C-alpha cells in the first residue's frame, strides 16, 4: 500500500527493478539503483541527526542528485524544501530561516556561499555537499553524499510518518511580499499524482521530459507520476528552445509540461519544431497561465498527433481543472472542468454561487487542498476557509481553497479565466481583464511575449500599459501594434502605453513576473 510518497519508488523498484527511471546528461539509473542509493542516503541523514518532521533544503539544479535527495529526505522521515537553483543568497536565507531548516543539500560550488551565510541561519545544524566541491572548505558538520554511500549496505530507516504528515514545503514566487511556504502532506502529493495520472493516461512506458523546476508543484508532479507508474523521466537543463526540441527527438519523449512563455518560445516561426516530426510525443500540458490562442494554434499545427491539455492550478491546491483535448476546437479559451475527485465552484462578492456567465472567485474542494502556509496562520485563514456549501454542522470539518482568481463558467459548466482578483484594471469606469488585452496583442502574430498591467492615471483612474517582446527577426513599432489593437477591441481596452523589451521578467518557475513589471514602472 502506497500511503507515503517514497512508497511510489519502492513499489516500482519491486515491480521492475531493472527499468530505467532517471536520465540526465548521459547518466542513467534504474529503479533498483535509485532505491538502493536513497536507502543509504536516508540512513546517512538520520545518523547526521535528522529527525521526524524536520526540514531539509534541497538547493540543487535539476539533476539526478536532486531527485535522489527528495526521496532520501522522505525516507528519513524529514520534510523536503526544494529551493530554485536561480535564487540569490538573501532569498535562500529567507527560506532557511522561515521554515527553520535543520539541514541543506547543496553542490560544492555553493559551499562557500552557504558557509558565509551560516551566522544568519542559526537553525542549520549540518550541510550535505552533493559533490566534492572546490577544494577543502572548513564547515562544521559538513557531510558528502558519497560518504553516505560508503556507510555500507543496510535497510532504509523504518517509516515513522503517516499520510497526513507534512512531506514538502514549496515556496511561492512571492507575488506580494516575501515568498510563503505552502505545506503539502504525503496525502496531498499522492492525490495529485494519482489524479493527473488518471486523466493524462500515464503508463509504464511513459518517457517524460522534465524541464520545470521541482520547486514548482507542476514540475514536481512529473517526477511523482513517472515513479508511480514505473515510467522514465528525462531531466533537462536548457538555455535555448531548440535544446528542448532536440531532447524530444533523441529521448523518444512521450510527455512534456510547460508554461505559456515557454510555449511561445518553442512555437515561434524560426523554431525547428515546425521542421521535425515527433512520433512519440503523445501529449503536452499547459498550466501557470493562459496559453495565447496564436501559440496554441501554432503548436497544434506543428504537432497534429499530439494531445494538448490546457490546465489550471495553484500551489495552494495543486491542480484544479483541465480541458479534455477533444474540447479544444469548441472552447479553446477554456481551462475545462474539475479534475477527478475535486469540486470547483464560483462564488460572487456576497458569497453566493455564481450563475452561468457571472464572474466570481474560483473555490477548490478536494484532497489536494494544502495544509496552508508555514508559520502564517492569518494568511492561511484568508485562503483556506470552511466550505460554504456544507451544512453548518459540517463546516468546521473541511477547508476549501479560495484561489483569488476571477473566473466565469458557461452553461455547460466549463470555466474561463478572467483575471486575478487583484489584477483587474479599472479605467474610465470600465473593469478590464489584462488577459483579454494580452490575447488581442498575441493575435497580431508579431509578438513572442506580452504582459499588460494598469498604471496610475489622474484622469482614467488606471491607464493600460503593455510590455511586449517581438518575435525573432521582427522589427516592431509600438504604433503599429496599438493600431492593430484599436481595430480589434473597444477604445477603452486599447493600451495607452507600450514598451518593447528584449525579454519579460520571469518568476523562478518560469511564469511572467507581473509584480516585477509593476516595480519597474514609473508614474506615467
Three-class SS state of 243 = helix
* 384 and 431 housed in the same domain: no
Domain boundary among 137, 156, 185: 185
Please give the Cα distance from 412 to 499 (Å, whole number).
39
- Residue 378 is classified by DSSP as H
- DSSP symbols for 287-338: -SSPPPHHHHHHHHHH-TTSEEEEEEEETTTEEEEEE-GGGTTT-TT--BEE
Q: How confident is residue 152, by pLDDT bands cut at 50, 70 and 90?
A: low
* 418 and 431 housed in the same domain: no
> Of how many residues is the chain composed?
524
pLDDT at residue 472, as a whole number = 86
pLDDT digits (tens, 9 = 90+) for 221-260: 999 999 999 999 999 999 888 999 999 999 999 999 999 8
What sign results for the dihedral spanned by CA atoms 368, 287, 290, 515?
A: positive
Phi, psi (rounded to 5 degrees) for 258: -155, 175
* 374 and 417 housed in the same domain: yes
Note whether residue 38 is domain-resident: yes
Q: The domain that contains 475 carries what CATH number? A: 3.30.300.30
Note whether residue 464 is domain-resident: yes
Domain, as residue range, for 356: 332-422
Q: How confident is residue 261, by pLDDT bands cut at 50, 70 and 90?
A: confident
Three-class SS state of 512 = strand
Share of the chain above pLDDT 70, in %: 96
pLDDT digits (tens, 9 = 90+) for 388-404: 999 988 888 899 999 99
Three-class SS state of 364 = strand
Report which of residues 134 and 449 the model is more confident about: 449
Please give the Cα distance from 124 to 145 (Å, whole number).
17
pLDDT digits (tens, 9 = 90+) for 104-117: 999 988 888 888 88
pLDDT of 155 > 60? The answer is: yes
* 36 and 114 housed in the same domain: yes
Q: The domain that contains 338 carries what CATH number? A: 2.30.38.10
Domain boundary among 377, 393, 422: 422
pLDDT at residue 125, as a whole number = 95
Q: Which of 34, 87, 79, 90 is nearest to 57 (CA)?
A: 79
* 451 and 514 housed in the same domain: yes
Note whether residue 266 is domain-resident: no
* 394 and 443 housed in the same domain: no
Q: How many structural domains is the chain composed of?
A: 3
In sequence order, the 6+-apart residues with CB closer than 8 A to the CB of 116 are none
Note whether residue 27 is domain-resident: yes
The CA R_g of the chain, rounded to the nearest whole Å, is 23
pLDDT of 319 > 50? The answer is: yes
Q: What are the distances in angstroms from CA 305 to CA 121, 182, 252, 301, 308?
A: 51, 37, 15, 9, 10
What residues does 323 pair with on adjacent strands? 310
CA 157 vs. chain centroid, Å, equals: 30
What mean pLDDT value characterizes the chain?
92
* 479 and 509 housed in the same domain: yes
The whole model's pTM is what? 0.89
Note whether residue 374 is domain-resident: yes
CB of 190 within 8 A of CB of 145?
Answer: no
Sheet bearing 79-82, strands edge to edge: 142-144, 126-129, 103-106, 55-58, 79-82, 166-171, 181-185, 372-373
- Torsion region of 154: left, alpha or beta (phi above 0 gives left; psi -120 to 50 gives alpha): left
Please give the Cα distance from 485 to 329 (Å, whole number).
24
Note whether residue 447 is domain-resident: yes
**How many other C-beta atoms are found inside a 10 Å radius of the C-beta of residue 100?**
14
* 141 and 178 housed in the same domain: yes
* 349 and 368 housed in the same domain: yes
CB of 479 within 8 A of CB of 447?
Answer: no
Q: Which of 189, 154, 153, 218 is nearest to 9 (CA)?
A: 189
Helices 31-48 & 7-15 angle (0-180, nearest 10):
140
* 16 and 135 housed in the same domain: yes
* 173 and 35 housed in the same domain: yes
pLDDT of 523 > 80? The answer is: no
* 76 and 174 housed in the same domain: yes
Which range (21-30, 62-71, 269-278, 452-461) has the least confidence?
A: 452-461
Cα 480–Cα 268–Cα 208 angle in degrees, nearest 5: 150
pLDDT digits (tens, 9 = 90+) for 37-93: 999 999 999 999 999 999 999 999 999 999 999 999 999 999 999 998 888 888 899
Q: The domain that contains 117 carries what CATH number? A: 3.40.50.980
In this prediction, residues 154-183 reach a mean pLDDT of: 84
Domain boundary among 185, 211, 231: 185
Cell 507515503 belongs to residue? 4
Note whether residue 79 is domain-resident: yes
Q: How confident is residue 176, by pLDDT bands cut at 50, 70 and 90?
A: very low
Cell of 73: 529526505
Amino acid at each position: 500500500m502506497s500511503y507515503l510518497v517514497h512508497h511510489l519508488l519502492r513499489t516500482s523498484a519491486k515491480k521492475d527493478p531493472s527499468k530505467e527511471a532517471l536520465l540526465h546528461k548521459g547518466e542513467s539509473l534504474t529503479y533498483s539503483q535509485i532505491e538502493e542509493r536513497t536507502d543509504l542516503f536516508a540512513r546517512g541523514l538520520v545518523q547526521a541527526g535528522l529527525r521526524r518532521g524536520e526540514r531539509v533544503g534541497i538547493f540543487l539544479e535539476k539533476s539526478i542528485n536532486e531527485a535522489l535527495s527528495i526521496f532520501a529526505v522522505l525516507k528519513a522521515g524529514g520534510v523536503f524544501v526544494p529551493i530554485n537553483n536561480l535564487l540569490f543568497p538573501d532569498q535562500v536565507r529567507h527560506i532557511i530561516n522561515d521554515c527553520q531548516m535543520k539541514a541543506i543539500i547543496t553542490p560544492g560550488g555553493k559551499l562557500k556561499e552557504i558557509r558565509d551565510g551560516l551566522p544568519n541561519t542559526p537553525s542549520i545544524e549540518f550541510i550535505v555537499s552533493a559533490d566534492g566541491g572546490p577544494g577543502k572548505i572548513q564547515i562544521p558538520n559538513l557531510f558528502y553524499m558519497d560518504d553516505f554511500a560508503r556507510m555500507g549496505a543496510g535497510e532504509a530507516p523504518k517509516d515513522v510518518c503517516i499520510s497526513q504528515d507534512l512531506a514538502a514545503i514549496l515556496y511561492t514566487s512571492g507575488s506580494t511580499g516575501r515568498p510563503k511556504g505552502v505545506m503539502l502532506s504525503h496525502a496531498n502529493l499522492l492525490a495529485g499524482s494519482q489524479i493527473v495520472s488518471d486523466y493524462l493516461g500515464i503508463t509504464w512506458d511513459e518517457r517524460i521530459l522534465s524541464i520545470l523546476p521541482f520547486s514548482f508543484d507542476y514540475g514536481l508532479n512529473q517526477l511523482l507520476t513517472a515513479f508511480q507508474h514505473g515510467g522514465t523521466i528525462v531531466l533537462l537543463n536548457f538555455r535555448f528552445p531548440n535544446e528542448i526540441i532536440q531532447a524530444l527527438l533523441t529521448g523518444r519523449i512521450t510527455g512534456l509540461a510547460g508554461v505559456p512563455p515557454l510555449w511561445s518560445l518553442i512555437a515561434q516561426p524560426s523554431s525547428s519544431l515546425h521542421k521535425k516530426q515527433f512520433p512519440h510525443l503523445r501529449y503536452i500540458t499547459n498550466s501557470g497561465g493562459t496559453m495565447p490562442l496564436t501559440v496554441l494554434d501554432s503548436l497544434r499545427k506543428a504537432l497534429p498527433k499530439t494531445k494538448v491539455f490546457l490546465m489550471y492550478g495553484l500551489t495552494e491546491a495543486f491542480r484544479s481543472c483541465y480541458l479534455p483535448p477533444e474540447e479544444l476546437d469548441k472552447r479553446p479559451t477554456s481551462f475545462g472542468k474539475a479534475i477527478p475527485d475535486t469540486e470547483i465552484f464560483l462564488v460572487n462578492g456576497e458569497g453566493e454561487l455564481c450563475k452561468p456567465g457571472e464572474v466570481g472567485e474560483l473555490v477548490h474542494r478536494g484532497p489536494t487542498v494544502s495544509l496552508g502556509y508555514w508559520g502564517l496562520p492569518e494568511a492561511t485563514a484568508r485562503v483556506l476557509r470552511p466550505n460554504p456549501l456544507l451544512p453548518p454542522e459540517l463546516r468546521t470539518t473541511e477547508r476549501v481553497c479560495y484561489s483569488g482568481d476571477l473566473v466565469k463558467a458557461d452553461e455547460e459548466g466549463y470555466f474561463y479565466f478572467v483575471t486575478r482578483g487583484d489584477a483587474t484594471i479599472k479605467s474610465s469606469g470600465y473593469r478590464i481583464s489584462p488577459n483579454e488585452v494580452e490575447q488581442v496583442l498575441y493575435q497580431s502574430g508579431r509578438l513572442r511575449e506580452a504582459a499588460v498591467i494598469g498604471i496610475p492615471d489622474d484622469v482614467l483612474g488606471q491607464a493600460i500599459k503593455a510590455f511586449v517582446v517581438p518575435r525573432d527577426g521582427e522589427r516592431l513599432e509600438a504604433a503599429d501594434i496599438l493600431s492593430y489593437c484599436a481595430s480589434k477591441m473597444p477604445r477603452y481596452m486599447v493600451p495607452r502605453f507600450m514598451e518593447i523589451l528584449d525579454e519579460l521578467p520571469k518568476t523562478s518557475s518560469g511564469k511572467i513576473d507581473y509584480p516585477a513589471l509593476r516595480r519597474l514602472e514609473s508614474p506615467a
